[in-house]
Amino acid sequence: MTKGKQRANRKATLVEALIPIAFLIVVLAISLVKLDADPHIPLILGATVAGAVGILRLRFAWRELEEGVLETIKMAMQAILILMVVGTLIGTWILSGTVPAMIYWGLGILSPGIFLVATALISAIVSLATGSSWTTAGTVGIALIGIGQGLGIPAPMVAGAIISGAYFGDKMSPLSDTTNLAPAMAGTTLFEHIKHMTYTTGPAFLISLVIYGFIGMKYAGQELDIAQISLIKDTLAGSFNTLSPVLLVPPVLVILMVVFKMPALPGLIIGSLLGGIFAAVFQGADLASIINAAHFGFVSETGVVAVDELLTRGGLDGMMWTVSLILCALTFGGILEKTGMLEAIANFILSLAKGTFGLVFATIASCLFVNLVTGEQYLSLVLPGRMYKDEYRKQRLHPKNLSRALEDSGTLLSPLIPWNTCGAYMAVTLGVSPLAYLPFAFLNLINPLISLLYAATGITMEKLPEEELNSIEDNKIENTN
């Protein structure tokens, strides 16, 4: 007991809290920009520096830091398990023809008079089907950029529509890693999070479509060259026994399960099993092929690069890069939280933010700050999520308000920053600088503003249920005693 008292922990100062963050910014900048390396090792190095500050300056024992890391990872384990199941689901859905059918029929809505609107809708459909904005941009996005240029539509406009649609789908799809990570950080459920996002993301997307409609009106009289889209559709049709609309049953059932509030893991497992069954029934796949697709993902060998890049993905193994990145980020965040460094930063920011609007504004500003200084989308969800989780509860706001604010900013603003991993990927893939397409990425710009409007007016800012408020008060009394 005496020994424990001698090394009693002390609160971190703002300067101490900023040391590991400043170090991480520098290491990430060197790794991502200069070395073109993944962010995993920089995060581990950042966690090492944070741990050193915690032990040497704040007098924490290693066991305490380890407990903090494990506790943080434990809170995200549901999201990690969901990601692993999602990997199997994507693999079986591609093998069954479900994802190809969604893309095939989505491409069919392309019309010369509403090209920009159709571009956003097609990107949204593909991203909803795959849960990946990157895959959408790297496949259908490339084709749409080429078509737009053939029509004389400026590439930044087309890229903005692609980004808006792709990130709408990424944000609203239960298959997306960020859509699973945000509620895990905030302390709410996946389906509650998706439902709550419809209040901000839905209107933002509709407004974006209206703006694209007005901009695209002057291109309505021009003839559409559908050669690239036809190539993708013909290749898809020739690679599967059928792309019948009946293959859309698995995603429809998953959506219905969301509506009827089935827990995420069972719902997604059922979706994955349905994918395997549909693969056997409609595509003639044997058991070995189904298991391989679920484990290692689907491998497309059509010879058409756009199709092969679109369909070669999924599987349990395909999620391990993301899972490992999340674990590294959570290790860094767990140490910052356990040592009180996050609290020191949060207290400083919260001292400048008052009320519901101030709290949501602080969340969005923090997500933007983390995106800017670290260049990593996942950190923009993990760090602010951990920083503000308790404050939302203190202000009697449901955790899904926090998870929505995280995605309204952390997810959507990342592709607008040139040195962010998302912005850099989009620039290379679409051949358009983020600063060029930024004015036309209407969803990404409008969504955070709607989130702030709701915070200012109280619209959809749901309070905690009475029983949860009572639980919080009881915990406060127990801690006081």
- The residue that leads in pLDDT, 79 or 459, is 459
Q: How many separate domains does the chain show? A: 1
As a whole number of angstroms, the distance between CA 396 and CA 470 comes to 11
Question: What's the pLDDT score for residue 150?
Answer: 66
As a whole number of angstroms, the distance between CA 28 and CA 46 comes to 9
Domain that holds residue 191: 78-319
List residues bridging with 397 in a β-sheet: 463
pLDDT band at residue 2, thresholds of 50, 70 and 90?
Answer: very low
pLDDT band at residue 277, thresholds of 50, 70 and 90?
Answer: very high
The 3-state DSSP composition of the chain as helix, strand, coil percent (nearest 5) reads 80, 0, 20
Q: Extract the tokens encoding 368.
A: 């933007």
With a CB cutoff of 8 Å and minimum separation 6, the contacts of 443 are 120, 163, 164, 165, 167, 168, 201, 204, 205, 208, 412
- The residue that leads in pLDDT, 73 or 259, is 73
pLDDT band at residue 350, thresholds of 50, 70 and 90?
Answer: confident
In a domain? residue 32: no
As a whole number of angstroms, the distance between CA 473 and CA 389 comes to 16
As a whole number of angstroms, the distance between CA 55 and CA 39 comes to 24
For CA atoms 70, 67, 405, 24, give the dihedral sign: negative
- The residue that leads in pLDDT, 338 or 372, is 338
As a whole number of angstroms, the distance between CA 456 and CA 450 comes to 10
Question: What's the pLDDT score for residue 272?
Answer: 93
Does 5 have pLDDT greater than 50?
Answer: no
In a domain? residue 191: yes
Question: What's the pLDDT score for residue 205?
Answer: 97
In a domain? residue 326: no
Determine what percent of the chain is predicted with pLDDT higher than 90: 41
454-476 confidence digits (pLDDT tens): 999 999 999 888 766 655 555 54
What are residue 463's phi and psi, to 5 degrees? -85, 160
Question: What's the pLDDT score for residue 77?
Answer: 82
Does 236 have pLDDT greater than 80?
Answer: yes
Q: Give how far Cα 412 sits from Cα of 98, 266, 345, 416, 466, Å.
A: 27, 28, 23, 8, 32
Of these ranges, 105-114, 265-274, 304-313, the one predicted with the greatest mean pLDDT is: 265-274
396-442 confidence digits (pLDDT tens): 999 999 999 999 999 999 999 887 778 878 887 888 888 899 999 99
DSSP letter for 439, please: G
SS3 463: strand
- Is 328 in contact with 40 (CB distance < 8 Å)? yes
360-377 confidence digits (pLDDT tens): 999 999 899 888 766 678
Which one-letter amino acid corresponds to residue 266? P
Averaged over 338-367, what is the pLDDT?
86
Mean pLDDT of the chain: 85
Question: What's the pLDDT score for residue 443?
Answer: 97
Of these ranges, 234-238, 316-320, 326-330, the one predicted with the greatest mean pLDDT is: 234-238
Averaged over 182-186, what is the pLDDT?
89
In a domain? residue 433: no
Determine what percent of the chain is predicted with pLDDT higher than 70: 90
Q: Give how far Cα 259 sits from Cα of 178, 190, 254, 400, Å.
A: 20, 12, 9, 16
Tokens 């040592």 identify what position? 339
For CA atoms 254, 256, 257, 258, give the dihedral sign: positive
What are residue 313's phi and psi, to 5 degrees? -170, 180
In a domain? residue 366: no
- The residue that leads in pLDDT, 383 or 26, is 26
In a domain? residue 205: yes
DSSP letter for 351, please: T
Q: How many of the other CB atoms lie within 10 Å of CB of 268?
A: 25
In a domain? residue 195: yes
Q: Extract the tokens encoding 61.
A: 């024992």
In a domain? residue 56: no
pTM comes to 0.72
Does 319 have pLDDT greater than 90?
Answer: no
